[in-house]
Amino acid sequence: MDLMEYQAKQLFAKHGVPVTVGTVITDPSEAAAAAEAEGGRVVVKAQVKTGGRGKAGGVKLAQDPQDAVAKAEQILGMDIKGHTVYKVLVTEASDIDAEYYVSFLLDRANRTFLAMASVEGGMEIEEVAATKPEALAKIRVDALEGCTPQKAQEIADAAGFPEVAKDQVVAILQQLWRVLVDEDATLVEVNPLILSPAGQVLALDDKVTLDDNANYRHASHADFVDRDNTDPIELRAKEFELNYVKLHG
């Protein structure tokens, strides 16, 4: 199960990852108060389980609370790759000195976990891998050993993180590993992981995919189901623990 960005942020915050949590709203009238709570100048972001939100116009900068209302009106109800936007995240607008990329994922082909990191974040990682493969570090992580401080240091060194950010990145990598293990996830990803002018490293845009087979261990994961964009028959089938696959025809 893929999570929406605000849900991923909640999980990250739970495990100590430095994030900008923001406020989730479902009506444009709520945007002004949300923007005021976040400092006035905010980013309004569509909450859908798909990539390419920015290119589709689902991520907009608002200069003040009233502008946030206007931006929320533009985004709510949008269709992004077949996903209707029912919620937006209003979060503080962060000043950025540098953008990075980090992730852990289950590498089924090689029966291991894989850490990926790059100092060239902010763009689609597939583009980085295709155009500048040398800029993307890939480090295997043993499931039993996990992301130890030494392994996190190895990942940070392989990616070439600058000294001003490296210690924080090493700590964040270990926290992200705890999210992966403790929440039974198959992917945790931050793009971008930013360095602020004040020297703070923050997980700005977050993604998590949970293993549905482990749902019985996590009752709270039921709250992450996107009921607005899920077939009602699928929701009904889950109530009876049935596997339902809708086919054409």
**Could you say which DSSP state residue 64 is in?**
S
Q: From residue 233, how far is each of 85, 88, 209 by CA, in Å?
A: 21, 26, 22
Specify the 3-state DSSP secondary structure of 193: strand
List 202's β-bridge partners, or say none: 194
Q: How far apart are CA 178 and CA 231, in angstroms?
A: 32
**Closest Cα to residue 207, out of 190, 229, 221, 224?**
190
In whole angstroms, what is the distance from residue 17 CA to residue 169 CA? 10
Report the Cα 7 to chain-centroid distance in Å. 8
Which phi-psi region, left, alpha or beta, contains residue 50 (left: φ > 0; alpha: ψ -120 to 50)?
Answer: beta
Burial class (CB in 10 A: 0-12, 13-18, 19+), 115: buried
36 is catalytic: no
- Looking at the DSSP assignment, which residues form a beta bridge with residue 139? 115
Q: Please state, in angstroms and rounded to a whole number, the distance separating the CA atoms of residues 173 and 122.
A: 18
Catalytic residue among 100, 101, 120, 154: 101
First to last CA, the chain: 26
User: Could you confirm whether 101 is annotated as catalytic?
Assistant: yes
Question: Catalytic positions, please?
Answer: 101, 189
